[in-house]
Amino acid sequence: MAADDESLRDGEVAIPLPENFDAGVYFIGRIRTPWSSRSECPKNGRESEVECTIELDTRYADGLKDVERSSHLLILYWMDKARRDLVLQSPRHCATQRGTFALRSPVRPNPIAASVVKLVKVEGTRLTVIGLDCLDGTPLVDIKPYFASTDSVADATVGWHQDTTK
Protein backbone atom coordinates (compact mmCIF):
# COMPACT_ATOMS: atom_id res chain seq x y z
CA MET A 1 0.00 0.00 0.00
CA ALA A 2 1.22 3.50 -0.73
CA ALA A 3 1.98 6.11 1.88
CA ASP A 4 -0.63 8.79 2.63
CA ASP A 5 1.87 11.40 1.51
CA GLU A 6 3.64 10.43 -1.69
CA SER A 7 5.56 13.70 -2.04
CA LEU A 8 9.36 13.63 -1.89
CA ARG A 9 11.35 15.85 0.47
CA ASP A 10 14.46 17.66 -0.76
CA GLY A 11 17.23 15.16 -1.46
CA GLU A 12 14.98 12.09 -1.54
CA VAL A 13 15.38 9.66 -4.43
CA ALA A 14 12.81 7.08 -5.58
CA ILE A 15 13.65 4.18 -7.89
CA PRO A 16 11.50 1.85 -10.00
CA LEU A 17 10.88 -1.37 -8.05
CA PRO A 18 11.21 -4.84 -9.66
CA GLU A 19 8.12 -5.98 -11.54
CA ASN A 20 7.75 -9.24 -9.58
CA PHE A 21 8.13 -10.36 -5.97
CA ASP A 22 10.72 -13.04 -5.09
CA ALA A 23 8.84 -14.60 -2.16
CA GLY A 24 5.54 -14.59 -0.29
CA VAL A 25 4.96 -13.69 3.37
CA TYR A 26 2.31 -15.01 5.75
CA PHE A 27 0.98 -12.34 8.08
CA ILE A 28 0.60 -14.33 11.32
CA GLY A 29 -1.51 -11.81 13.21
CA ARG A 30 -2.12 -8.14 13.89
CA ILE A 31 -0.73 -5.66 16.37
CA ARG A 32 -3.19 -3.61 18.41
CA THR A 33 -1.93 -0.21 19.55
CA PRO A 34 -3.55 3.07 20.61
CA TRP A 35 -2.12 4.89 17.57
CA SER A 36 -4.18 5.58 14.44
CA SER A 37 -1.83 8.02 12.68
CA ARG A 38 1.88 7.89 12.10
CA SER A 39 2.43 11.20 13.84
CA GLU A 40 0.98 9.74 17.06
CA CYS A 41 3.29 6.69 17.03
CA PRO A 42 6.48 6.72 19.11
CA LYS A 43 9.57 7.18 16.90
CA ASN A 44 10.85 3.86 18.24
CA GLY A 45 9.59 1.30 20.69
CA ARG A 46 12.04 2.28 23.41
CA GLU A 47 10.31 5.68 23.66
CA SER A 48 7.07 4.12 24.86
CA GLU A 49 5.85 2.54 28.09
CA VAL A 50 2.43 1.86 26.55
CA GLU A 51 1.04 -1.69 26.67
CA CYS A 52 0.15 -3.02 23.20
CA THR A 53 -1.44 -6.32 22.21
CA ILE A 54 -0.13 -8.80 19.70
CA GLU A 55 -3.02 -10.88 18.34
CA LEU A 56 -1.60 -14.08 16.86
CA ASP A 57 -3.79 -15.95 14.37
CA THR A 58 -5.17 -18.95 16.31
CA ARG A 59 -3.83 -21.40 13.72
CA TYR A 60 -0.33 -20.67 15.14
CA ALA A 61 -1.38 -21.12 18.79
CA ASP A 62 0.90 -24.14 19.39
CA GLY A 63 3.86 -22.04 18.31
CA LEU A 64 3.53 -20.02 21.51
CA LYS A 65 4.61 -22.96 23.69
CA ASP A 66 7.31 -21.68 26.12
CA VAL A 67 7.10 -18.10 24.84
CA GLU A 68 5.81 -16.94 28.24
CA ARG A 69 9.19 -17.98 29.69
CA SER A 70 10.97 -15.11 27.88
CA SER A 71 11.16 -11.69 29.46
CA HIS A 72 11.74 -9.97 26.12
CA LEU A 73 10.85 -10.78 22.52
CA LEU A 74 11.99 -9.62 19.11
CA ILE A 75 8.90 -8.64 17.12
CA LEU A 76 9.00 -8.31 13.33
CA TYR A 77 6.11 -6.49 11.64
CA TRP A 78 5.13 -5.20 8.25
CA MET A 79 4.84 -1.43 7.85
CA ASP A 80 1.91 -1.66 5.49
CA LYS A 81 1.41 2.10 5.02
CA ALA A 82 5.00 2.83 3.97
CA ARG A 83 6.13 3.50 0.42
CA ARG A 84 8.82 1.08 -0.74
CA ASP A 85 10.76 2.83 -3.47
CA LEU A 86 13.12 5.30 -1.75
CA VAL A 87 16.87 4.69 -1.69
CA LEU A 88 17.78 8.10 -0.28
CA GLN A 89 15.66 9.68 2.43
CA SER A 90 15.60 13.02 4.23
CA PRO A 91 14.33 12.26 7.74
CA ARG A 92 12.98 15.28 9.63
CA HIS A 93 15.65 14.94 12.32
CA CYS A 94 18.57 14.89 9.82
CA ALA A 95 20.13 17.91 8.13
CA THR A 96 21.05 15.79 5.10
CA GLN A 97 19.84 12.81 3.10
CA ARG A 98 20.73 9.28 4.27
CA GLY A 99 20.67 5.90 2.56
CA THR A 100 17.63 3.76 3.28
CA PHE A 101 19.79 0.96 4.64
CA ALA A 102 21.46 3.35 7.09
CA LEU A 103 18.07 4.22 8.59
CA ARG A 104 15.36 2.57 10.72
CA SER A 105 12.69 4.29 8.62
CA PRO A 106 9.64 2.15 7.73
CA VAL A 107 10.20 3.21 4.10
CA ARG A 108 12.26 0.44 2.49
CA PRO A 109 11.84 -2.16 -0.32
CA ASN A 110 10.61 -4.73 2.23
CA PRO A 111 8.95 -2.64 4.96
CA ILE A 112 9.85 -4.97 7.82
CA ALA A 113 10.16 -3.33 11.23
CA ALA A 114 11.84 -4.79 14.31
CA SER A 115 11.43 -4.00 17.99
CA VAL A 116 12.63 -5.62 21.17
CA VAL A 117 9.65 -5.66 23.53
CA LYS A 118 9.08 -6.50 27.17
CA LEU A 119 6.60 -9.36 27.54
CA VAL A 120 3.95 -8.53 30.14
CA LYS A 121 1.63 -11.52 29.76
CA VAL A 122 0.37 -14.21 27.42
CA GLU A 123 -3.34 -15.02 27.40
CA GLY A 124 -4.17 -17.64 24.78
CA THR A 125 -3.01 -16.13 21.49
CA ARG A 126 -2.91 -12.55 22.85
CA LEU A 127 0.44 -11.20 24.03
CA THR A 128 0.62 -7.98 26.02
CA VAL A 129 3.93 -6.22 25.41
CA ILE A 130 5.67 -2.90 25.99
CA GLY A 131 7.98 -1.39 23.37
CA LEU A 132 6.12 -1.09 20.05
CA ASP A 133 5.87 1.94 17.78
CA CYS A 134 3.36 0.99 15.06
CA LEU A 135 -0.14 1.86 13.90
CA ASP A 136 -3.13 -0.07 15.17
CA GLY A 137 -3.72 -3.07 12.89
CA THR A 138 -0.14 -3.38 11.64
CA PRO A 139 0.46 -6.93 10.30
CA LEU A 140 2.64 -9.26 12.37
CA VAL A 141 5.45 -11.12 10.58
CA ASP A 142 7.27 -13.01 13.35
CA ILE A 143 7.91 -13.44 17.08
CA LYS A 144 11.32 -14.57 18.34
CA PRO A 145 12.92 -14.74 21.79
CA TYR A 146 15.37 -11.93 22.49
CA PHE A 147 18.70 -13.28 23.77
CA ALA A 148 20.64 -10.59 25.60
CA SER A 149 23.67 -12.90 25.41
CA THR A 150 23.86 -12.91 21.59
CA ASP A 151 21.59 -10.07 20.38
CA SER A 152 23.04 -7.26 22.47
CA VAL A 153 26.21 -5.48 21.33
CA ALA A 154 27.02 -3.00 24.06
CA ASP A 155 29.63 -0.99 22.12
CA ALA A 156 27.81 -0.80 18.76
CA THR A 157 27.75 2.66 17.15
CA VAL A 158 25.94 4.50 14.31
CA GLY A 159 28.32 7.27 13.28
CA TRP A 160 25.82 9.61 11.61
CA HIS A 161 23.54 9.59 14.65
CA GLN A 162 26.19 11.33 16.71
CA ASP A 163 26.19 14.15 14.10
CA THR A 164 22.44 14.72 14.49
CA THR A 165 22.34 14.58 18.29
CA LYS A 166 25.28 16.96 18.88
Ligand X SMILES: C[S@@+](CC[C@H](N)C(=O)[O-])C[C@H]1O[C@@H](n2cnc3c(N)ncnc32)[C@H](O)[C@@H]1O
Contact between 73 and ligand X per CB under 6 A: no
Contact between 79 and ligand X per CB under 6 A: yes
Output 36 or 58, the one with its CB closest to ligand X: 36
Contact between 29 and ligand X per CB under 6 A: no
Contact between 135 and ligand X per CB under 6 A: yes
Query: Could you give the CA distance from residue 166 to residue 162 in angstroms, rounded to a whole number?
Result: 6
CB of 62 to ligand X, least distance (A): 27
Contact between 58 and ligand X per CB under 6 A: no
Which residues on neighbouring strands pair with residue 114, listed in sequence order?
76
**How many C-beta atoms lie closer than 10 Å to residue 94's C-beta?**
15
Query: Could you give the CA distance from residue 166 to residue 16 in angstroms, rounded to a whole number?
Result: 35
Beta-carbon contacts of 127 under 8 Å, excluding residues fewer than 6 positions away, are: 53, 54, 56, 64, 67, 73, 119, 121, 143
Query: Could you give the CA distance from residue 59 to residue 80 in angstroms, rounded to a whole number?
Result: 22
Q: Which of 100, 106, 117, 127 binds ligand X (CB under 6 A)?
A: 106
Contact between 28 and ligand X per CB under 6 A: no
**Among the candidate windows 13-21, 48-56, 59-67, 109-117, which touches ligand X by CB under 6 A?**
109-117
Contacting residues toward ligand X, per CB under 6 A = 38, 41-45, 79-82, 104-106, 113-115, 133-135, 138
